[in-house]
Structure 1
Amino acid sequence: MANDTIIVLPGEIIVYILEDKRLSLADILHFSLACKSLYKIVNESNKLWKTTFFKRWPLLKEIYETKKLEHRIINWKEEVKVSVTSRTKLLCYLFSMSSKHHRKQDLTNSEFKDLDALFCPKEGSHPLAYYFLSDELDSLIKHPATTSDNDIIINSFSNLTHRYYGLKIIRYLKQTHLKDEWQKFISLPLKQQTLERGATFVAQWCQPEKNVSYHAISSILDNIAEQTKEFLRKQHPGHSIFSVPNERFNFWKNNIIDDNQWNVTETRQITDALCEVLFVKLKFYGNSKMYYWLEKSFIDQVLETGSGIPTTLAIVFESIARRLGVHCEPCNNYLILSFILLDITTGPGFEDTESFYIDVFNHGHFVTKESCPRVGGLSRCPIEKYNVHEAATAIEVVTRIANNLEVAARQHIQINDRTARLRSVLEFRCLIQPDANIILQLGRIYISQFMDLTELVKTLENMQQNLELISKGQANVILQTFQTLQRCQKNLQPEEEVKLKRRVPSVKYAIGLIMTHRIHGYFCVITGWDPRCMASTEWMNEMNVDELDQGANQPFYNILLDDGSCHYVAQENLVLSPNSQGINHHAIGRYFYKFSGAHYIPNEEKAKEYPEDERFCNELLVTYMQNRMAYNTT
């Protein structure tokens, strides 16, 4: 009888209990199957399903609110079903990727086209399916050891191979979505194309593995603006800003304003307060030593660390100042990297007032034409002729950030996944400002990675249709590039079938083993081997292979290094590492699904290619550990 007590409770009480945050979606489903009465209560409560939906996927609440779907009549049980179904299909797609693509160094967008049906409304998917899938992938990346409510194994992201391909899926997913978002952005009236939105787009495109939210970025900027107002209140409690209604602040937040809203004195009081809060209290600063670190160009990371390049610091400053009714303009010349202009000449009744320039890279110092330091050894003031230039638009500023990102992506200080980063930046540049030279650079990357060129060829064909908009010289470059890519496309050979590698006595090591280079001392992991050197004669001459003790007639190993590079190394230069540790290489999951603590375990595809290696690897490690223990004992 006691077991039936809950049935006699009013349905509202049962729903209230089930809304407890400790109960999962699976708990509620199991509860509803206890009897017909409970099944009816659970399935007829739209309120319960709504609570359960956002309890299970809390990040989606922001999406429903910003998309203004929160107050629409929604069948939340159906919403849960669609979300679960979409995620299940995504995981099935993910699990199949290694068997399809393990021979490919990288994947082009055209190879993900069959994924479009899962998230593109034009293909018949749910309007918010993109957010369901990106939320699932974001969660898996952050929390790899959880399980889902629909019994699909979500801890697959502890599987290195699934994680490797999951990152490729999320890159395609988010960048495909962002292409549509970019078209919407550039279609907005110029007054609504704010710098912070453009900068957020850059951060989202270049960091697909992160959940970069404009709402979160905007909230941080709002908070700094509020801190500035509080500081201003203490210094100047009678300032006119404190009589402005909230509706006006909201307008300034979302629109580029034409004029300062204050007189010269009050404008300077606001900018002084902003500099105090931003550069003194919150310690934002320009970092010249890390100028070409990618992170310094991403507004989310600048707001998190307080360190940035002049462009991103200028965007932060302008975005906060605009929220406070101060009109700022980025200079439309090379000074975009050094200054932003506080144009207070348009303030009411102050037509002859001098403009001030803020050096955001050096703690927000104010300068004028008279006090401006000579920058970079220039004999003339670099802002002397500012007024002959138009203010830079958000699209122009984004283009300059992209240019800086390309330089940063080519730096040698960040080798790991450098080619993928450069590819992503070039594809971004191609999106915002298509150019034959950029496409040619992309083509070289695609060819080096044996990637499909179809998408680049299509881009060139579209550019050819608008040749009247392009100079004759540039048209010739486009045509030459198109012809080059066509020839390369024809020369791409179909993938070879996997050839099994049978072990021979001369091969001492196996795939998955952690090794140390005898000469250079770096750590690495073996991903493949040949019984003898199979490189070209030119490569062997360049690497002085004939000077090795055993020359080319010894096993050579493909290895991944901890710095993100890969090499082809002679057996005589490798030795088992005494301190096994994981290798930080972006492609590790292409070959292995797990790190055992002593070695990497090959995934199904790699194990098929080297069918005898796993057993040999285990036996070798046992012998090695026994010998070490015997040595330590003696």
Structure 2
Amino acid sequence: MAGDVLISYLPNEIIEQILETPFLTFKDICNFGTTCSKFRNLVCSSNKLWKSKFQQQWPNLQDVYDSDRSFLWRDEFMHRFRCGWNIRHFITEMSSKFCRKDEVSNCDLVFFDSMMQNHEYAYYFIVNELMSIANDDDPAGNLTEKFYTEKVIRYVRQVHLNKKWQHFLSLPSEELVLEKGAVLVAQWSQPLTEVKYKKIAKQLDDIASAVKTELRKKHSNHPLFRVPPEKLSEWRNKNINDNQWKPSESHQILDALRNVLFTQMGFHGNNEMYYNVESSFLNKVIELRCGIPITLSIVYESIARRLGVKCEPVNFPAHFLLRWQEKYKSEEERSTYYYIDVYNCGHFLTKRDCPHYSPNSQCPMREIKLQPETFVKVVERLANNLEVAGRQRAQGREARLRSTLELMHLVNPADMNCVFHLARFYMLHHMNLGDLVAALKKTQDYLGPREREQAAHIIKMMRVYESHHYSKESESLPDIEPRLRAPGVEYAIGMIMRHLRYDYTCVIYGWDPFCNASQEWIYQMGVDNLPCKDRQPFYNVLVEDGSTRYVAQENLEVAVNPIKINHVDVGRFFKRFCGTHYVPNTEKEEEYPQDADVRVRFLMLPREL
């Protein structure tokens, strides 16, 4: 665990005192070591030695620190050590607190809010420790701890990104470059991935450099090559209010950009899996060179801006395009402009490209007055696309839907349709509504009459839920009631099974001696067509495709070749995969105390290959 470098210096009795003290300060640790000469020597070590030990223990934190500043590395080491211990102490207790909840409410994790205020780099310490738990490849690692660690990572990152979003809103429009908004969406939606803006900006810089190389082949005297680095840096970091070149010179840059981006590098639209969530993540679009109109447009606009060409995002009906004008500040009433269809290899579109255009009839596009979208609106559309894409896949659907709805609410708190769906999600999963009610009441003053009426209705709905449901369920839950073995129940939790009819592999995480579903479900699933009908044991199983099902005993058999089950909820019920079965965690073992003997009995049986 975190602090092994430190702990290796301590005698056993000192280690035991530290591990029994969940909240440690540097002074506390020093007091523990007063009888230990090795520990006193460590405390008195040089700043250089402490820095070395810090970097050895947590190498991923080196980039966080400002290299131009000096630090007391002993204190930094102790802060990071204490942070790691406190996190692990909290994680180990989460299963006993939340094992019967589908989702953990944000109010249950406010412990980390205070932690993030304890140190200048506390957020990075916390993420570093959580990621070390989540990415631990040790076969003996605790799957339950990883399961709850992922929930905490999502929360901590979102608290941090919420503050970053509020900071964005305070900036002047020229500093709100689209790529930063797209990176925030990617970071919010991929909490277990280190999505760094510096890396993405560098990748866009490299593409822009490739475009300059291509441009030089045909137009070596282009004025772009005489632009000083300071000006290029300004274009990189801020929106430009006009093209920096004559129309013909801008055309030359855009021709080179199209050739590099689509012909040489192979960026293209994702026609086969349009609603693949990765197509909405800027880091994945750059990596895979495949995206949807809005993300490809952001890549294109970011590169063009670096080269002094202004492109505006346009939310076209059922599509997303860029608009480029020859002159944005022209005093002429009609400056020539083009739409750029980045999804289709960056083709330029004008009214003459419309299939309905003819010399004797005007194109319908002529009547559509499209204004460029704002930074906020582009991020909002990205979030909306994620919401649609997230509903297409079963694996992790609930967590993904919650995350997307919360992102949509962050970006547009006045969207009552989003608030309504988020409130329904919270109520369906028995979550605390306090923060949502407070946010909605705060927003009411800025809404129109119709939206205020909707907000009042939603608040009333949530208040009714709180008074009749959440308040009772939020009280201390009773102890887990053991499920004792019943006659006829052949299998046990943790056993890996194969479905005889549909040939999928799954793991059992619960059972009923008889079917415990509604009559409507029994009818819809054709249970009455089974030989034993509903008068047989039924099993709750996690399936390898990410779904969760309720299966009759006669449709299951023990898997001859057991495999790991790729399901997001495996860690909720099991702590380890042992090659032949899953070992239940403490809470699941308490719920089914007699199932262990059944698992052992089946494991001892010879397997037919």
Give distance in 2, aligned partners of 1:265 and 1:458: 54
Maintained 8 Å contact 1:232/1:270: yes
Match of 2:17 in 1: none
Match of 2:425 in 1: 445
Maintained 8 Å contact 1:345/1:352: no
Give distance in 2, aligned partners of 1:50 and 1:225: 38
Maintained 8 Å contact 1:259/1:327: yes
Match of 1:366 in 2: 348
C-alpha change, 1:38 and 1:583, in structure 2 (3 Å) is: closer
Shift of 1:316: 0.3
* Aligned-partner residue type, residue 402 of structure 2: R
C-alpha change, 1:507 and 1:431, in structure 2 (3 Å) is: same
Match of 2:595 in 1: 613
Mark the runs of 5 or more structure 1 residues left unpaired by the alignment. 1-23, 146-154
Match of 2:127 in 1: 134
Match of 1:458 in 2: 438
Partner-residue secondary structure (3-state), 1:487:
helix
Deviations 1:55-82 (A, max 9, x none): 5434333333xxxx33223112211221
* Aligned-partner residue type, residue 401 of structure 1: L
* Aligned-partner residue type, residue 302 of structure 1: V
Shift of 1:383: 4.8
Maintained 8 Å contact 2:266/2:289: yes
1:422 to 372, 383, 401: 401
Match of 1:229 in 2: 212
Deviations 1:17-60 (A, max 9, x none): xxxxxxx98399769x9x98998799554344334434543433
Shift of 1:410: 1.6
Q: Aligned runs of 1:113-262 on 2, under 5 Å?
A: 113-119=110-116, 121=117, 125-145=118-138, 158-262=141-245
Give distance in 2, aligned partners of 1:308 and 1:332: 16
Deviations 1:305-345 (A, max 9, x none): 0000010000000001111111111124437x342112221
Shift of 1:390: 3.1
Match of 2:63 in 1: 62
Give distance in 1, aligned partners of 2:101 and 2:326: 57
| Structural RMSD (CA) | 2.8
Partner-residue secondary structure (3-state), 1:340:
strand
Shift of 1:545: 3.4
2:104 to 92, 103, 107: 107
Give distance in 2, aligned partners of 1:99 and 1:172: 19
Match of 2:575 in 1: 593
C-alpha change, 1:239 and 1:334, in structure 2 (3 Å) is: same
Maintained 8 Å contact 1:228/1:273: yes
Give distance in 2, aligned partners of 1:407 and 1:578: 39
* Aligned-partner residue type, residue 182 of structure 1: W
* Aligned-partner residue type, residue 491 of structure 1: H
Shift of 1:105: 1.2
Find out whether 1:483 has 2:465 as its counterpart: no
Maintained 8 Å contact 1:262/1:348: no
Find out whether 1:324 has 2:307 as its counterpart: yes
Give distance in 2, aligned partners of 1:228 and 1:62: 30
Shift of 1:374: 5.9
Find out whether 1:401 has 2:394 as its counterpart: no
Give distance in 1, aligned partners of 2:362 and 2:293: 21
Give distance in 1, aligned partners of 2:160 and 2:362: 46
Maintained 8 Å contact 1:558/1:569: yes
Shift of 1:202: 0.5
* Aligned-partner residue type, residue 46 of structure 1: N
Moved more, 451-460 or 600-609: 451-460
Shift of 1:370: 2.7
C-alpha change, 1:383 and 1:26, in structure 2 (3 Å) is: farther
Find out whether 1:344 has 2:323 as its counterpart: no
* Aligned-partner residue type, residue 458 of structure 2: T
Shift of 1:624: 4.4
Maintained 8 Å contact 2:215/2:256: yes
Q: Aligned runs of 1:367-382 on 2, under 5 Å?
A: 367-372=349-354, 381=363
C-alpha change, 1:321 and 1:556, in structure 2 (3 Å) is: same
Maintained 8 Å contact 1:592/1:602: yes
Maintained 8 Å contact 2:9/2:38: no
C-alpha change, 1:609 and 1:39, in structure 2 (3 Å) is: closer
C-alpha change, 1:50 and 1:582, in structure 2 (3 Å) is: same
* Aligned-partner residue type, residue 595 of structure 2: D
Mark the runs of 5 or more structure 2 residues left unpaired by the alignment. 11-32
Shift of 1:104: 0.9
Shift of 1:348: 8.6
Shift of 1:110: 1.1
Shift of 1:171: 0.4
C-alpha change, 1:551 and 1:25, in structure 2 (3 Å) is: closer
Maintained 8 Å contact 2:315/2:321: no
Partner-residue secondary structure (3-state), 1:100:
helix
TM normalised by structure 2 equals 0.88
Maintained 8 Å contact 1:50/1:76: yes
Q: Aligned runs of 1:551-630 on 2, under 5 Å?
A: 551-625=533-607, 628=608
* Aligned-partner residue type, residue 394 of structure 1: F
Shift of 1:371: 3.5
Shift of 1:454: 2.5
Shift of 1:357: 2.6
